[in-house]
Chains A and B, each alone.
Chain A
Amino acid sequence: MKKTRSVLLSMQLYEYKVLEDYLSLMANKGWIFKGFGKYGKNILKFVKEEPMSIQYRVDYVDGAWKTKESEELLAYRTFVEQYGYEFIAGNLQFDVYQQLSEQYPIRENTKEDQIYLRKAVVHGLYVPLLLVLVGLMQVFTNYQKMIVMDFSENVSIMMLCSWGFLTICYAITCFRIIAWLCHIRHQPTLRNVLFYSTCDNALVCLVISSFLLFVSIKATLAFLFVVCSVMLYRSLLFANLEHSLKQSKVWLNLGLWALCCVLLGAGIVSSKEYVSKERHEVISFGSNESVAIIYRESLFAIQGYYSVNGQTYEVNVIKPSILQERIASRIREENQITSTTGTVVTQKKELRDGVGKTKTVYDVSVASDTFLLSSRYQQQPTPLQEETLQEMVPQLDAYFLR
């Protein structure tokens, strides 16, 4: 079986000349371009054969024919083939031909071609821009609410990281395109494209990993480790192509890989410690009342359970460092709590489930300056005694504030 290789290379439409150089360079090393990935338009597939000199020509595909394999596109490819070209493969961006005769180029970079390219490249920025803006708006409008309602460290970090990384991704792409439009960099070179492509891919990986944070920190680290290993392998391949370790960023990738190894190791070691941060404590007060607190500390809040009179309440404590008056007042407002000394409010609510059935639930809330106890019951709970509250609230306040 022949050796094959897939290379992930993302390019802008105007960088089509660089793709020609890259494919010819690969052919010189014996890697013959066979087509694009079935599911990834940026994946180039190569097969190992005898090294040979092949002249590739890349044509960018007109926007109107972008429906893959449309009759018009096939007719255009046949049209080009009459001029001494052999069509090899195409994706939604580029068509790759092997040049058999040198009489006619496919395009002559006329003014119309340049205008078309500029339009296509700039139009390509609109959808990602929309995505980035919507995401950032979501983060900024919901972030505080998210902290209050969810209290989940992972979700908050995930949201921030994902949209932050997406914004960086977009900024880099914009920078490249503006540089091209302003003629700062007339002719994109293979080196630049490889570098930017690596940046793009790395950032996409970071976005994925920030989503993985939602699942687990260890999973994220493992994913980053795999990505860095692949990047290191890729840079070694490029080093083989360019005969230069420095140009292929091997040292940079090796550094990233090592950093990932350290992080992954640290993650595995600290995971034990993380579990031990879960505390079980019992505070006793009054005659026969006791509060069992099991809590996990996260970035913004302490989550836990509190049980009294055989009933379990969920405890959400906002850390004093980020406890802002308006958040506290919103909690009280939403839960219709008027007193800050720990009034119990039991609200009867009718909830409709997915199939339209209605069920009655009881939401119980107790709030003070430092904590909010909330719980939901199917049946009406036994109310907390006033004396219990009087004793409990200051003790919990002191406990959470220490």
Chain B
Amino acid sequence: MPKKQLDTLTEPMYYTLLALLTPRCGIEISEFVLELTQGRVRLVPGTLYTMLSKFESEGMIQEMSVDGRKRTYEITDKGTAMLREEYQRLTTMILEGKKWLAQSEGQI
């Protein structure tokens, strides 16, 4: 059975890709995301490592350098495209939601 492609990104995935627009290693990704989301999204190593391996096998990120066993990753063009697509999707969702929520609020 072929491995399932990533269709949509989960919240941790989205933030991880966002973090990798600049080359970062594991703890740097977690710290960046924690700061960006003001502590809302915490990427723990057990989950993040699996996610990075998945991204790497899908060609969405690549290894930049290896210092000892410490690996630094960066997003690839494919990953950037996916991130932009997700960003578009989320923006559309927000715009649509905003429109309809405003209308329903007007009715009330």
Interface residues of A (CB under 8 A from B): 59, 62, 74-76, 78-80, 82-83, 104-108, 110, 112-113
Contacts and interface: CB of A to CB of B under 8 A. Distances in A.
Contact of B46 (A74, A75, A113): A113
Contacts of A108: 42, 44, 46-47
Given A79-B69, A82-B45, A83-B44, 20 more contacts: A75-B71, A78-B68, A78-B69, A78-B70, A79-B45, A79-B48, A83-B30, A104-B45, A105-B44, A106-B44, A107-B44, A107-B46, A107-B47, A108-B42, A108-B46, A108-B47, A110-B47, A112-B47, A112-B50, A113-B46
A113 B48 CA distance: 12
A74 B47 contact: no
Contacts of B68: 78
B87 interface: no
Contacts of A78: 68-70
Interface string B21-54: 0000111001000000000001011111110000
Contacts of B50: 62, 112
A26 to B, nearest CB: 24
A80 B70 CA distance: 10
B44 A79 contact: no
A75 B45 CA distance: 12
A108 B45 CA distance: 9
Interface residues of B, number: 16
A96 to B, nearest CB: 14
A82 B30 CA distance: 11
Contacts of B30: 83, 104
Contacts of A82: 25-27, 45, 70
A82 B71 CA distance: 11
Contacts of B45: 79-80, 82-83, 104, 106
A108 B42 CA distance: 9
Contacts of A76: 49
A105 B45 CA distance: 8
Nearest to A74: B69
Nearest to B67: A78
A83 B43 CA distance: 11
A79 B73 CA distance: 13
27 contacts: A62-B50, A74-B69, A75-B71, A76-B49, A78-B69, A79-B26, A79-B48, A79-B49, A80-B45, A80-B49, A82-B25, A82-B26, A83-B26, A83-B30, A83-B44, A83-B45, A104-B42, A104-B44, A106-B46, A107-B44, A108-B42, A108-B46, A108-B47, A110-B47, A112-B47, A112-B50, A113-B47
B62 to A, nearest CB: 15
A284 to B, nearest CB: 81
Nearest to A64: B53
A107 B50 CA distance: 11
A108 B46 CA distance: 8
Interface in B52-93: 68-71
B69 A75 contact: yes
Contacts of A106: 44-46
Nearest to A75: B69
A107 B47 CA distance: 7
Nearest to A80: B45
B96 to A, nearest CB: 28
A108 B48 CA distance: 11
Nearest to B69: A78
B65 to A, nearest CB: 14
A75 B70 CA distance: 7
A146 to B, nearest CB: 46
B57 to A, nearest CB: 12
Nearest to A83: B45
Contacts of A59: 46
Contacts of B71: 75, 79
A265 to B, nearest CB: 54
A83 B48 CA distance: 12
Nearest to B31: A103
Most chain A beta-carbon contacts within 10 A, residue among B25, B27, B30: B27
A105 B42 CA distance: 10
Nearest to B68: A78
Contacts of A113: 46-47
Nearest to A72: B53
A76 B45 CA distance: 9
Contacts of A112: 47, 50
Please give me the 8 A-B residue pairs with the lowest Cβ-Cβ distance, nearest first.
A78-B69, A107-B46, A82-B27, A80-B45, A106-B46, A83-B45, A79-B26, A108-B44
